[in-house]
Every structure is written in structure tokens, then in C-alpha cells.
A and B are shown apart, each in its own frame.
Chain A
């Protein structure tokens, strides 16, 4: 039996220690308990954590979510054979999805450094503020004046200083002057944080291997043996690696195998306190001990250097592929798939980038089991073809798995009776059909103003799917369900019935033979809903997937467009991984939920255009009345599709994607301010809900949004531009 040490040997002891210190210092007891479990067991299921810590499920969820938002935890979803399920007659064991959690050590180190840096920065700025304190005070009105304002106070006749408001003589402020407090604060900070600094220094030369950043599921021994009589959690927490047989099968390889190999690179950024402090003191007065020492963020260091020295930006090429800092600081929970990112965060002018290459992140990618760097791939397009093919196959597998699934009617045993709707396969089948008819309704009415979605698909599924998948299969599933309606509907006037009943007219047979674009979208959404049981399908997702499919399937190069369906699936999954919270009701009240987003946008509006904000506020136009749709659908219903596509280019190419969305919303409001200010409640509501006719060119909106953000960045940063805003700033230059 393997022991803990063997399982975790890829994580150095000092790194674990660092995380433990950090947890004990800054997090609650519950947080550190759960993280301790995850330190012991590298990567385990949520259910297993639950059994180990015996927390309330909700509480555990909450902790896991906060830690995930802090980017210390990562999760991945694997589908595994359902425990206790029997293989069916084909030997296929039904699979369920399990969420695995693990600590993202690489990011954690950066987070710790970043937070320490921020803390230090804050203490320092406090210190600075203290030295700028008022040194005169008026005894009457308590007005304070700094040394520099003395000239306004000086009365040349008497030579005394008088308060400019109440004209009484001011006194020196005894409480002013350099406050020793803040210095001791800094010293205190240094001593208190010393253990963390020490631990950080010890971890500086760690090389991250792919297994460290994307570990395989651990096998928790005592959970699986003697389950009934021994549930005691031993302090040694014996764990072993999962046995080979329970590893995901080859077919799943695209998910588990294609980890982000960029992490395997040598990282030789050396933390050198003395040197660094000196170097930085030259250019900026604050001591930014940790700034720029993030693992693998060479490019942002360059931005940093650029800002500090005033040099022009010269990217330093490294042999290894390097990740963005904002990538690190953002939640990097994308599943490892062959094409990991919908859009390259450092996209240049997004309009010029029509080729598929923009979807490839700078990480090295895996093409059929072999690793290639981004350069290699961009030089050899055939690799991309292989890659899309691999991805296509994976998607295809899913599609057939989910679509062609019809319980075998011939083997209707008593336990599998379609009429008894208790937990048999039929139950699921009927539920799916309900889901399907809902999706169908929404997919069908996607972008009615353009004909694209009702046109036949260029590459219908039948061309690349084996015979088991018949075009119109989904439709057949729904029509079976509506069998009564279709039969009786035939008797009626076809033209009218067609609109209401899917299968009541004579075109039906024809419709089945030619696959329309909306049917592709329907299938995509269905597969997504089946694979993402947590989110499923929510109205509005169709509006997100529509433009993506629209763009990909119309690529002039058939090499790309023939894979549009699979590509859309992955891109959509990626986008959803970032905006999914908007679609989950339980997330509404969370910090990343839609309410928070709307409130933040209103605050921004208040800041940038007070009068518009006041009008909306006075007329009681709540953000839910219009912003809800704007933000949930990324403005896709507010403008025409070409404009949406242009706007999304900017949104996706921005490193802080949905930060920019807020600015775009504010920009729209300020651009229609004249109308809003003169309008009454009804007029304004109509205006806000039907913006597509009144909005100026989308480029004007984007420019305005960018302008607003730049303004904020400048204001926030002051003399010490902080790291994040620098990255933002640099990125928004690209976005232009």
C-alpha cells in the first residue's frame, strides 16, 4: 500500500508548510481544516471531503467556493462509473460526474506574494499619508491645513495665521507630525510575516510538474475499506494513488491527458530581497518586495519595468511558454481540453484575427498525445487539423452518447417500464425530452431577424457521424412525445399549425432531411446541458452560443468551418465557465453573482455620470429592469449580430473580461444620456429595453468604455500604479 508520502511526493514539504502557515494565519479554522485534507489528499472528490470533515454540505460548499474564488483551490470534473451501477448488456457502465478539488499550488504562491505585496503597499501608503498630515488646526471650526497652505492663512498685517473660513487664529496641530505608529506597523508586519517570507524563500526554486498543477485523483484508502465500522479519520490520513483501472479511459483522454504542460517549464525567477528592494527603490519609492516575482509572468514584469523605467516595451522571449499574470490571478479552472481558450487574452486587434489561431492560448498544447508549443503549431497548420480532429472525435463521442440514447424498447423488463416513472432509464429519457423541447423552442427563435439560423447547415452532423446518428433524431424524440398533437394537427390548416406545433405540417419530412443551423445549436445546447448538470440549460444561453456558432460556421476556409460545431461547443464551454454564475440562481447573491455585477455597474454609473444615475434612481428604474438582460446575455440582445461580434471581440480579448462589460454598459448609458435625462419613466424604460435602434456605432461604445476605464485606472493608481491595473492598462491598449 502506498503511503501519504509517496502520493504527495510531487509536492515538496516546504510548499505544503507554506500553505499551512498561510491558512492558519489568514483563514478560519474550518478553511484550514478542509485545506489540510486537500494537502494530505492531493485531489479528491467533494463527497470524500464531506465524509472526511463531516461538515454540513452547505457549509463545505461555501468554503470550497470561497477558496475557489480566492483561486487557491481548483476543481475539475471527471466522469466516472457510477458507484454501485451495473454495466448494461453492452458492458457499458453508466457514468456520473464527480467534482474533484485540489490545491493549485502554483497560483497559491503567487496569490500569497500578491497579497503580501498589497498589504505592504497599503501600510506604506498609510505611512506616506501620515507624513502629509495637516499641521495646523483651527480651534474654532476644526479645519486643518498643511504646511503648504500656510500662504493662504498668513495675514501679512499681523503676521499671524488665520483660518480662511472663520478667521480665528489657527494653532499648530499637536497630533500631527510624523506618526511613529505606522513605522512600527511596518516593522510589526515584517516580523509577523517573517515565517511566510522564509517559507516563500524556501519554495522559490520549485519546479512545477504537470502532476503538481493538475493532479490525478487520489484514492482515499480508509474511505473505501471498512467503510462501515471504521470511519475514524486518522491523523496520518493514508492515501494512495488511484489504481490504473480507475483512471479515465482513453476516450476521456482529451480531458485528463491534455493538461497544461506549460507548467513543466523551468522557472528560475529568483527572489532576492536585498537586490530587488534596491532596484525598485531607484525607480519607485515604495518597496515592492514581491512585485514582479510572480512565477511565470515574465511578460507582465516587462510591463512593470516599462512603467517604472519609462522604457519602451520590449518583450523578452523565453524558451519556455509563459503564462499571464492575470491568467494566474483569474480563476484558471478551465478544463484541460485541446483548445483551452476561446480567445487569446493578449489578442491584438481582434478584428484582424479571423483565423482560428486566436483561440489557441500561448500554452503548449497537446495534439494527439504529443506536446507542441504555440509557435510550432502556428507554423504548421496541419497540426491544428489533427488537433481539431481529436477534439471533433471527443465531441462526437459525447454527441452520440447523449443523443442516440434511447432506452432499448425491446428489453422492457418490469423494472424498466416506460410507464412506471420511478428512477429507471425511461424517467431520465422523458426528462431529457422535456429539456429538449425547451431548448428546441429557444433555438428555433434564435436571431429571427437574420436568415442564417433557418438555413441548412453547411456541415450537418450526418456527414461526420456514424449511421447511428440520424438527422432529425432530436426532432423525432420530441415528436414522439407530442404524438397526439401531431396527428390531430395534420387535419388543420398547415400554415397556422406549423407555427405552434413542430410536426403538424407536410414540410415535416423534408425538414427532417435537411439539418438547419438552429438544429445544430439545439444539439449543442442539449449536449452542454447533459454534460453540465449543475447549470443545465437556462433560457438565454441560446443567445450566448448563437453568435459563437454564427462566426465559426461561416469561416471561409472549409478546413475550419467543417469543425464549427465541435469548436463552438468548446468555445461556449469556455465562455460559460466565466459567466456561468449569471445563470445559476443560487449564485445571485454571491460576489460574482448578477446582483453584485449590476450593483457595481450602477456604482460606476454614479461615478461617471451622476445625472444619468440620478434620473434612473429618481424614476425608480432598477438595474433588474434592463441591466439584468444586458449583462446576462453580454449585450447580445441589445445590438445586431455584427455589432455583438465586434463587441465580444473586445470583451474576450480583455484580460478582465467582465470588468470591461460594466464599463461598456456605463458607456452605453452615457451615450444616450440626453434622451435619458429628458425622458420620463415609460420613455426611458422603452429606450433601455430597445437600445439597438438608438445606439451609436459599436466602436464608439467600445472607445467610450475604454476611455472611462482608463480614467478610473489613472485615478486609482496615483503615483504608484499597482500591478493589476498595469496589466489592465496594457491590455486595454491592445484592445484598442
Chain B
């Protein structure tokens, strides 16, 4: 399966908010409450079609553990999208978002597309309101989604929205440049950088078919 674009997206948030579950739901359509805790980073792919382009999402599911944060920051490099997850039943995980956001600002691309995701909305014991979360997201220039990894609500569309947004940024830039330099490079694989003028960074690296997907 070939693809036209490759977007690196990081999943961050406190321990136990369900990052791994969201990833599994999105890439494998699975939910397994007994999954192991993530140490370091785990990795998954999913290719979707956006406006007729095959876009491959490279999802980096990071560990929420405080101790591993210094190591986790290494995973942010080169990511163009981020999904900031919290648990709607645990206000503490929502409060921690501020921290995660500053972490992103520090290590990731400055134009990174961020989606705040309130997970576990299937639970009746919700303690963080939608309005509150939306306010936070808007204040930081992020957009907000609610999901349930358990029944799958919102997961697909959260990722889709992130990718679409990235795609729009990239596409608009490309439209602007089309006439000048790399016209006619359609169908070529590229990994995307949002700030750099050079968004055809490493075409050869990802050009072969991905065996795994």
C-alpha cells in the first residue's frame, strides 16, 4: 500500500487516561482493558484517504508516567500532530493538560496541530464538563473532541480531524508553491514538516511499501 503523505502524530496525556486504548481502537479497532502499561513509546500506523490522497498516520503512543517524561520528549521531534488525552472522570488528568501542552510547545514543531480529547465518556461518573474542556482548548488554539475508546465513539473522527487539518496546512502551502519549484511531484511520498519551507524532506526514506500495514 503506497501513500502520498506521512504524518507523525503523538498521543500524550497522564497515566491511565486511555492513550493506548485510543490507539488500539483507531488502528486495530480493538479494546482490551488488560493492556500492559506503556513504557517509553509504542508505535502504530493507519492509512486514511483525505481528499483523494492516501495519508499515512504514524501514531506514537507515549508513556504517561512522570518519570519517563524526559525520555518521551525525544518522541515529539518531527511530529506534526498531537492528541492530548485526558480522562473525563478524573479532573486531575485534565489539569495536567496545561503541563502537557507546554511540553509540546517546548519540544514539538510550533505549528503542530493539537486536538484535546476527553476520553471515557461512556462512564457515568463524568467530572470534567465539555464546556470547561472546550474553553481550555480554544484558549490554546487547539480543537476539542470527546471519545470513548471502549465503544469507539469519536476516536476515528478525532484522528481524522487532526490529519485533515495537517493536510490542509500542507496542501495550502503546496498550492502556493506549485507553480514555482516542485510542480508535478504528485504521487511522490513525502514526510511533512510544517514550518520548514522544505516539506519534501526525506522522500526516499518512506518510499517503499510498508510491509506491516
A-to-B contact residues, CB < 8 Å: 438, 441-442, 444-446, 448, 484-485, 488-489, 491-492, 496-497, 499-501, 538-540, 542-543, 583-585, 588, 594, 619, 622, 624-626, 628-629, 632-633, 637, 679-683, 685-686, 689
Contacts and interface: CB of A to CB of B under 8 A. Distances in A.
Interface stretch (B41-49, B97-105, B135-143, B163-171): B41-49
Given A539-B67, A543-B36, A624-B74, 13 more contacts: A441-B37, A444-B34, A445-B36, A448-B32, A488-B124, A539-B37, A539-B39, A539-B65, A628-B68, A633-B39, A682-B43, A683-B210, A686-B43
B53 to A, nearest CB: 18
Contact of A485 (B32, B35, B36, B125): B125
**B37, B67, B213 interface centre (most CB from chain A within 10 Å):** B67
Nearest to B56: A682
B33 interface: yes
A629 B39 contact: yes
A489 B125 contact: yes
Contacts of B123: 485, 489, 497, 500-501
A414 to B, nearest CB: 28
Nearest to A625: B41
B194 to A, nearest CB: 18
B43 A585 contact: no
Contact of B211 (A444, A489, A680): A680
Nearest to A538: B67
A682 B124 contact: no
Interface in B1-51: 15-16, 32-37, 39-43, 45
B212 A500 contact: no
Contacts of A489: 123-125
B70 interface: yes
B147 interface: no
Nearest to B31: A499
A681 B205 contact: yes
A491 B124 contact: yes
B58 A682 contact: yes
B40 A682 contact: no
A32 to B, nearest CB: 33
A628 B39 contact: yes
Contact of A622 (B63, B65, B74, B124): B74
Interface of B: 15-16, 32-37, 39-43, 45, 58, 63, 65, 67-71, 74-75, 89, 120, 122-125, 150, 205-206, 208, 210-213
A500 B45 contact: no
B75 A585 contact: no
Contacts of A488: 124-125
B164 to A, nearest CB: 22
Contact of A619 (B41, B75, B205): B205
A497 B212 CA distance: 34
B101 to A, nearest CB: 21
25 contacts: A438-B16, A441-B15, A445-B37, A446-B36, A448-B32, A488-B124, A497-B124, A499-B33, A500-B33, A500-B120, A500-B150, A538-B65, A539-B39, A539-B65, A539-B67, A540-B65, A588-B70, A624-B71, A625-B41, A628-B41, A628-B68, A680-B208, A680-B211, A686-B212, A689-B42
Given A448-B34, A538-B65, A624 B41 contact: yes
Nearest to A584: B67
A683 B58 CA distance: 12
A617 to B, nearest CB: 13
Contacts of B63: 539
Contacts of B35: 445, 448
A637 B211 contact: no
A583 B70 CA distance: 12
A683 B40 CA distance: 18
A687 to B, nearest CB: 8
Contact of A683 (B16, B70, B150, B211): B211
B212 A683 contact: yes
Nearest to B125: A485
A485 B40 contact: no
A501 B126 CA distance: 12
A534 to B, nearest CB: 12
A672 B37 CA distance: 25
Contacts of A491: 124
**A448, A625, A632, A689 interface centre (most CB from chain B within 10 Å):** A625
3 interchain residue pairs of minimum CB distance: A448-B34, A499-B33, A628-B40
**A448, A542, A628, A633 interface centre (most CB from chain B within 10 Å):** A628
A538 B65 CA distance: 7
Contact of B39 (A484, A499, A500, A540): A540
A357 to B, nearest CB: 33
B103 to A, nearest CB: 14
A628 B125 contact: no
A505 to B, nearest CB: 13
A585 B66 CA distance: 9
A632 to B, nearest CB: 6
**B41, B45, B63, B120 interface centre (most CB from chain A within 10 Å):** B41
Given A538-B67, A625-B40, A501 B125 contact: yes
Nearest to B120: A500
A683 B37 CA distance: 22
**B16, B37, B75, B213 interface centre (most CB from chain A within 10 Å):** B37
A119 B123 CA distance: 67
A689 B71 contact: no
A542 B37 contact: yes
A583 B67 contact: yes
B181 to A, nearest CB: 25
A442 B16 CA distance: 9
A445 B34 contact: yes
A442 B63 CA distance: 13
Contacts of A680: 205-206, 208, 210-211
A484 B125 contact: yes
B36 A448 contact: yes
**B43, B65, B69 interface centre (most CB from chain A within 10 Å):** B43
**A500, A584, A682, A686 interface centre (most CB from chain B within 10 Å):** A682
A543 B36 CA distance: 9
B144 to A, nearest CB: 22
A682 B120 contact: no
A682 B211 CA distance: 8
Contacts of A682: 43, 45, 58, 206, 210-213
Given A499-B33, A682-B45, A683-B212, A539 B125 contact: no
B75 to A, nearest CB: 7
**A489, A540, A626 interface centre (most CB from chain B within 10 Å):** A540
A619 B202 CA distance: 10
B125 A588 contact: no
Contact of A499 (B67, B125, B150, B208): B150
Nearest to A680: B208
Contact of A689 (B32, B43, B58, B70): B43
A433 to B, nearest CB: 13
A625 B58 CA distance: 14
A637 B125 contact: no
A584 B210 CA distance: 37
A685 B33 contact: no
A492 B208 contact: no
